[in-house]
Amino acid sequence: MSDSGLDSQRIASLTEAQQEIYRNRTGQSAKEYQRAVEVMPGGVPSSFQMMDPWPVYLTEGKGSQVWDVDGNQYTDFHAGFGVMVIGHANPTIGEAVKARIDQSTHFAAPTNDSIEVAEELKRRFKLPHWRFINSGTEATMDAVHLARGATGRDMILKVEGSYHGHHDAVMVSVAPPLDQIGTRENPIAIPYGEGTPKALTDLTHTVPFNDVDALKAVLENIGDQVAGMIVEPAMMNINIIPPKDGYLQEVRDLTEQYGIKLIFDEVKTGATMSHGGATGYYGVTPDMITLAKATCGGYPGGSIGMSDEIAQLVEDDRVKQYGTFNGNPLVMAAAKAALTEVLTEQAYVELNEKNEYLKKRCQEIIDTYELPAYTEGIGAKGCVIFSPQRLYEYRDYAEYVNEELSTLGWLYHMNNGIFMTPGVEEEWTLSVFHTEEDLDNYANAFEAFAKDLRA
């Protein structure tokens, strides 16, 4: 028996059975995969899209539903890794983009829409200046450059277990082995994969999330050398881990004390947590905010918000912030429609109500079947965390989360028409189109999983 009181052999047997169902349901995806691996590593455009034994290849999405090449219909809780809070084929977004297409798809020159989007972001996130880029990775990369330019320092501080895009400064300690990361007060930064020079890894230091004492210890040693600290206000790369009460304000106070620029990476939280993102939800304002994903209405784009001091660096061209497609007119049209017409304050009230309903249903199932798990979530995002105790940071996640249960839960959802993100996070994103029936379908698939575990 496992520590959870669940039979490990039964978990393995159920996983094997569900894998067979998955293979039988997705035969055409298997054929697409065999074709794709000849021209794309892993058969996918991005490694995050890889699944075992092969990914599901999609053809269409409408509202809260998506369809694959085998004709299977799913209720979408994946949402393109949290992008599609607006839902698929949202007519408001479609009409805005179609109108812009007729006027040209690219200028490399500013448009009125870019002004209006920047004004809306200023209103929502309370930072006065905004620039546009094309992805979350570019947003955090620019933020790191700006922190270094503003301080004249080189070191960056990040949280263990957080993913901030795939540039060298932050490809550190994303999923480090516990036996290699050192003590809480003196963490060791571990490169995330190969290809990052040690000379650059040495410039990035790490701290555990939600641990002010550990942060103080690190800053006492290197605080006067750190240019910027980048942090997800609520961690959303290892399930969902909210900050402890007062933690973000302590981080804000300490970074100000040491002259460090504080960056909130709101790529995941910015348009999912609340109308004002995590910044508004928790009431702590950083020097910079990075946004992407759901803020651009399903189109590839992002933005970086900055204080007056940081903005002056850009305006004076002391820190270079360039990009041919920055502020692309199609992206700006989609972002304007998403932010001003779809993702309104009332939309977030309704998204939160839906999320609370789904969390409640899943928690009732957890309690009924005595699973080693609990629910967590804020705004449009939620998850079931397969851990016998609450998580507060990455070290908890790496020690306690049951990957076998997470994988089995993912298979049950996929095989029961619930499209989920691959991996052990088991995190859902709701859209404005999700109905109570959609939420019940998710909960019913979860209950089938729980019932079979305890049979």
Give alpha helix (H) positions in 316-435.
Answer: 329-337, 345-368, 394-400, 403-415
* Contact criterion met (CB below 8 Å) for 303 and 115: no
Q: Which CATH number fits domain 91-342: 3.40.50.2300, 1.10.760.10, 3.40.640.10, 3.40.140.10?
A: 3.40.640.10
Report the C-alpha gap between 213 and 344 in whole angstroms.
38
**Looking at residue 280, what is its pLDDT?**
97
Residue 52, exposed/middle/buried by CB under 10 A (0-12, 13-18, 19+)?
exposed
pLDDT (tens digit, 9 = 90+) per residue, 420-433? 998 777 699 999 99
Pairing between β-strand 226-231 and β-strand 288-291 as defined by DSSP bridges: unpaired
Question: How many residues does this entry show for the chain?
Answer: 455
Report the C-alpha gap between 37 and 139 in whole angstroms.
30
Q: Where in the chain is the domain with CATH 3.40.640.10?
A: 91-342
Q: Which two tokens stand for residue 339?
A: 């932010």
Report the C-alpha gap between 58 and 66 in whole angstroms.
7
**Looking at residue 426, what is its pLDDT?**
65
How would you write 110-148 as a 3-class SS string? Answer: CCHHHHHHHHHHHHHHCCCEEEEECCHHHHHHHHHHHHH
DSSP string of 210-258? Answer: T-HHHHHHHHHHHGGGEEEEEE-SSB-SSS-BPPPTTHHHHHHHHHHHT
- In 3D space, the residue among 84, 134, 139 whose CA is nearest the CA of residue 289 turns out to be 139
Report the C-alpha gap between 73 and 337 in whole angstroms.
28
Residue 115: φ, ψ to 5°: -65, -45
Of all helices (H) and strands (E), which one includes residue 206?
Answer: strand 204-207
SS3 label, residue 298: coil
Pairing between β-strand 261-265 and β-strand 226-231 as defined by DSSP bridges: parallel
Q: Which residues pair with 290 in a beta bridge?
A: 265, 304
pLDDT (tens digit, 9 = 90+) per residue, 238-289? 999 999 999 999 999 999 999 999 999 999 999 999 999 999 999 999 999 9
**Looking at residue 2, what is its pLDDT?**
43
Tokens 């000849």, residue located? 38
SS3 label, residue 58: strand
Residue 257, exposed/middle/buried by CB under 10 A (0-12, 13-18, 19+)?
exposed
Residue 390, exposed/middle/buried by CB under 10 A (0-12, 13-18, 19+)?
exposed
Amino acid at position 181, single letter: I
Q: Where in the chain is the domain with CATH 3.90.1150.10?
A: 8-76+344-454
Amino acid at position 39, single letter: V
Give the class (CATH, top level) of 8-76+344-454. alpha beta
Tokens 């977004």, residue located? 93
153-165 per-residue burial string, b: 16 or more CB within 10 A, e: under 16:
bebbbbbbbbbbb
**Looking at residue 1, what is its pLDDT?**
30
**Looking at residue 422, what is its pLDDT?**
82
First-to-last C-alpha distance (Å) of the chain:
14
State the DSSP code for 202.
T
**Looking at residue 297, what is its pLDDT?**
97
Question: Quick check: bond before 53 cis, omega within 30?
Answer: yes
* Contact criterion met (CB below 8 Å) for 161 and 173: yes
Report the C-alpha gap between 429 and 434 in whole angstroms.
10
> In 10 A of CB 312, how many CB atoms?
14
DSSP string of 143-186? Answer: HHHHHHHHHS--EEEEETT----SSGGG-BSSS--GGGSB-SSS
**Looking at residue 4, what is its pLDDT?**
60
| Neighbour order of strands in the sheet with 73-76 | 58-62, 65-68, 73-76, 418-419
pTM for the structure as a whole: 0.96
Task: For the chain, give the longest Cα–Cα distance.
Answer: 67
- The angle, 0 to 180 degrees and rounded to 10, between the axes of the packed helices 436-454 and 345-368 is 20
- In 3D space, the residue among 405, 442, 400 whose CA is nearest the CA of residue 424 turns out to be 405
* Residues of the chain below pLDDT 50: 1-3
